[in-house]
Amino acid sequence: MSKPRKKRKKILFILEIVVLLLFIGGLFVYGQISAKLDKIDIQETDLADQDIVTNDQAPQMTGYTTYALFGLDHRSKNEKLNTENSDTIIIASINNDTKAVKLVSVYRDTLLNVKDDTYSKANSAYALGGPTNAVSMLNTNLDLNITDYVAIDFDALVTVVDCLGGLDIPLSYAEIVHMNNYCVETSEETGKSYTPVELPDPKPEDEEAIVDTYHLNGVQATSYCRIRYTASLDMGRTERQRRVIQMIVDKAKKAGLSTIFDIMDQVFPMVKTSVSKTEILKMIPAMIGYSIDETTGFPNDYKFAKVKGSGSVIVPTTLESNVLKIHQFLYGDTSYTPTQDVLNRSAQITNIAGGGDVQDTAPAVTDTPNDATDDSYTWQGDTSTDYSSTDTSDDTDYSTDTDYDSDYSGDDYSTDTDYSGGDSDTDHSDYTDGEDDSENE
């Protein structure tokens, strides 16, 4: 009878050693991650609770954690475009119980109250007052209670994708053309190389249809995220961004620890956030269970207009009805009622945009380009441009890019913008306020 006892003791001893090694390994990994978090530019004082503005009667969304994600337009090689507009604005809502993450992209040209009753494009809020003002803009226009943010520029996205070994992304003919054009500037700005994707021959009849799946490196994937000159405009751009985010999350969850540490070492110095190191460390054990659920864009219902001082803008029809939809989407909240602050902003936006018909109903929230919400949205320009050749000798002059040069007629958004400079990331609309409306990922 003694042998079985010895055997059990031996097994218990081995288990104790294994548990001890796992514990020590866990401490090592925890220590490594803790040290790497020191590389992040954590700006806890910038977003002190007292600095963040929220609407007095806005609901407190218990059971959820909500963050604002900003992609900054910072281009050191072109000071004219170095404005730090947050041309990528994403609201991320995490269900604390299920770990399901929902993403909402706020279209960069959405007409909102960006600061002190100044109504302009949403992407200008960051340049007007940094992350504090940008988060406050989201809170006060959308009845949210966001207190934390994360901000990066497109150098970080390039690095993440390269560390993960690239992404396999389906592309249309038009997307290949525009992506190759954008790659010139993205490569110059980041110092990273790329190989242009060869255009299919013959050119397909439908240039917007997917032609194949391509393996893209960081420069290419980031350039893909910057495209907004296809038929779906900024709605398509934000959808591409959310698609890439989802691909990155899926691939990172399967990556080895050495890859994750490599990303931390290279990317964390490029990140600005208000989330404390302690909070991040608490989140790490649960991150493996996070999954991106549904994603969409805001506003869900919109029309286009030209507003003095802001140029071409996206007008929510109405802000009130769109805020109702976003609360239902992010939090499943069917009992939410917009505050008086939102009602006032909604009325002001309608007034600034010149009134017009407001839709009583709207399509369900989906993650597809919302380019047919308003019946008045029709193309006036020539969209049959030949993409068969591109001029890459000058990254600010792509004369072969689609030219949507026409004008507005009432609520008809035919665009007054000349997109013949496709690789130049600047919106050449008539901005009488002098705002540089450059665009990032």
Count of domains in the chain? Answer: 2
Residues 182 and 118 in one domain: yes
Residues 14 and 163 in one domain: no
Q: Which residue segment(s) compose the domain that 298 sits in?
A: 41-441
Q: Is 53 left (phi over 0), alpha (psi -120 to 50) or beta?
A: beta
Contact 273, 38 (CB under 8 A): no
Closest by CA position to 190, among listed 159, 151, 225: 159
| pLDDT score, position 18 | 67
The residue that leads in pLDDT, 37 or 44, is 37
Q: Whole-angstrom Cα distance, residue 421 to residue 397?
A: 5
Q: 400-409 pLDDT, tens per residue?
A: 232 222 232 3
Q: Whole-angstrom Cα distance, residue 73 to residue 61?
A: 31
Q: Reduced to 3 states, what is the DSSP secondary structure of residue 122? A: coil
Residues 22 and 77 in one domain: no
Q: 179-227 pLDDT, tens per residue?
A: 999 999 999 999 999 999 999 999 999 999 999 999 999 999 999 999 9
Contact 373, 363 (CB under 8 A): yes
Q: Whole-angstrom Cα distance, residue 334 to residue 287?
A: 28
Residues 48 and 31 in one domain: no
| pLDDT score, position 50 | 56
Q: 158-176 pLDDT, tens per residue?
A: 999 999 999 999 999 999 9
Q: 291-338 pLDDT, tens per residue?
A: 898 999 999 999 999 988 888 999 999 999 999 999 999 999 889 999
Residues 116 and 173 in one domain: yes
Q: Whole-angstrom Cα distance, residue 344 to residue 228?
A: 31
Residues 11 and 93 in one domain: no
Contact 172, 212 (CB under 8 A): no
Phi and psi at residue 79, to the nearest 5°: -60, -25
Q: 225-242 pLDDT, tens per residue?
A: 999 989 999 999 999 999
Residues 364 and 215 in one domain: yes
Q: Whole-angstrom Cα distance, residue 173 to residue 325?
A: 34
Residues 288 and 371 in one domain: yes
N residues, the chain: 441
Residues 234 and 331 in one domain: yes
Residues 97 and 18 in one domain: no
| pLDDT score, position 67 | 94
Residues 281 and 133 in one domain: yes
H helices, E strands: number in the chain? 10, 13
Residues 157 and 26 in one domain: no
Q: Which domain CATH number covers 45?
A: 3.40.630.190
Q: What distances in angstroms separate CA 295 from CA 96, 239, 242, one per listed residue?
A: 17, 8, 7
What percentage of the chain reaches a pLDDT higher than 90?
A: 51
